[in-house]
Structure formats: structure tokens, C-alpha cells
Structure 1
Amino acid sequence: MGCSTSAAGLVVLLALAPGCAGGDEPPAQGTAELGTGEWQFEPLVDGQEVELAHGAQGGWHLWTSVRTLGLEPEGVQLEVTTTVLDDPASATTSRGRIELTELEDGRCELIGWPAVLREPACAIGRPLRIRAVVTDARGTVATGERRVRPRWDSDEACAEGP
């Protein structure tokens, strides 16, 4: 029984080992959990309503947080895209170089990234996809995605054309 466990462990190690072929190998994969929260990580579930926040420069955004496993915390590139599902032209992407905070259980997290919406009034109550791509300095990539429904207390009208 010990041999089969060791053999299985070796197979896992070989599968996770970096390749020697250069640029032909896909990047290593980590895991990411997408959440919300400005001050602490709050898990999201698909279909959940999420309150829009008014930004300091007049725009509207969703507070987005992410937890990762298998990524180094320094030199991380974060890319967050929001898209109203039935309107691909609504896609808005923000990017930045960040540093993740290490947690005691081996995961890392970033709390409070403002995921901007291009036309927030047009997204209210409609299914919105939030997708985060996190890439560390080694090239390890983790992605997380959730489908939520934005809500807000504003009388701003949707400027969407016919």
C-alpha cells in the first residue's frame, strides 16, 4: 500500500513540476475564490445581490476581494473585468500590480479592489459577471468568477441607446 501511495505522490509531483520545454508549457495554475468586501473578505455565491458603492471620483463600483492558493504574494498582477451578461460591450477591465496578504492557512488575499462598471444604472438587477485573473511573479495564474446582481440607491437613469 505504501508503494502505491508513493507512486501516486510522484505522479502528482511530476504533474506539478515546471516543464523544460520553455514557452510551450501552459502557466502553472493556482486557485482563486472571488468575494466582496471593502474591509474584510465576504464570500460571494452566484446570483447574490451586491450593493454598488459610490467612488470618490463620481463613479460606481463593486468592492471585490480575492483569496488565492498556490500563488506567491509579491509582484502580483490583478485584472478584474465586469460584464453585464447580455451586453458584451459593457465589459470594463481594471488592472494593477498588488501585493497579497498571507493568511495562516497558506492562502493569500486581497481585500477591497474597486471593480468599476461602465454604465452602472444599466446593470441594476441584471446578471453581471465579475472575473478576476491573478498572476504572480512566477507566472502562476489563478482565476475566479462570480455572477451577481448589482443593486443601488440612486435615481440615475440608464443612458443605454436603442
Structure 2
Amino acid sequence: MTGALDGLTILAPESRELNLFAQLLEAEGAVAVRCPLVQILDLDDVAEAEAWIERLIAGAFQDVIWLTHEGLRRLLPIAERNGRRAAFVEALGRSRMITRGPKPARALRELGLRVGLAAAPSACNSIPQREDRSSRLCATAGPWRLPSPPIATHRRPRPIK
């Protein structure tokens, strides 16, 4: 039995489901050359992450946005190394957790935290916009911060003439 891709060598650039994607190609007869595009590494210098954790513990943020679970999974060991894990988790519990997709929500639930607002996983424009300039907001996936307001801007396409 021959597959639709017999005899082809296909470069499979992927970051999330590389092996699954390559197996699909191979099932159709291709030789899949795996080429991961993203590698997630720990921070070389954690000073900024430590400062962010301390700001959170001090109550600097009312909302925390998790676009992925990786930010939380990388921040927890940093807080733990500094003896601040419990205070970090407690501070997260005082803030509203905003998530995009199931992975960050699952990571929060594992810590006994609840999601205050869940955005659609595939629609970054569904993250709410903040109009109140006095609000304190931090988005994290690293940690990194998005300016506020607005968090996400929406551009409407122009009609084709």
C-alpha cells in the first residue's frame, strides 16, 4: 500500500506537536525531518522574575493573565528557591486569574486556584480590554508585561475596493 506522500522528504517545522505531526506525514509514506522551532529554557538571570514575584506578593496587580502554563511552571521554582512559594500562591489567589486555554487553567487548579475569567483559547482578541487607566495589570507568560490599557487591540479589516 502506498501513501499520498511516498518518496517525499518533508521538513516538519513545528513547536507544539512535532512528533504527532511527523507521524501523520510518515503514515502517508513521507520521510519526516523533525525541526523544532521553539525551545523553552529557564532564565539565566532570575532577578526580574524575583522582582515580579515580590511585586505580586506586595499586591501590585489585581489581574494576572496567563497565556500559557509555562510562565506559572517556571515562576514556582523561583519563588520556592527564595522561600516565597506559599506567599506567591497566596498572592495569586488574591488576584483575578485570566487565562487563555485549558493549560494555564489546569496549572492554576493544581495549585488550588480558580480562574476568574477564561478567554477563548484561539482568540487573543478575546482577552478583555481595560479602559480604566488606574487599574494595575500584569500579563505573564514568562514573566513579561503587557501595557495597559488596552491589553489587546482589535483592528477591523478595511473593505476591498
Which is richer in helix? Answer: 2
Rg larger for: 2
TM-score between both structures, scaled by the size of structure 2: 0.26
Using CA pairs under 8 Å that are at least 6 residues apart, name the structure with larger relative contact order, 1 or 2. 1
TM-score between both structures, scaled by the size of structure 1: 0.26
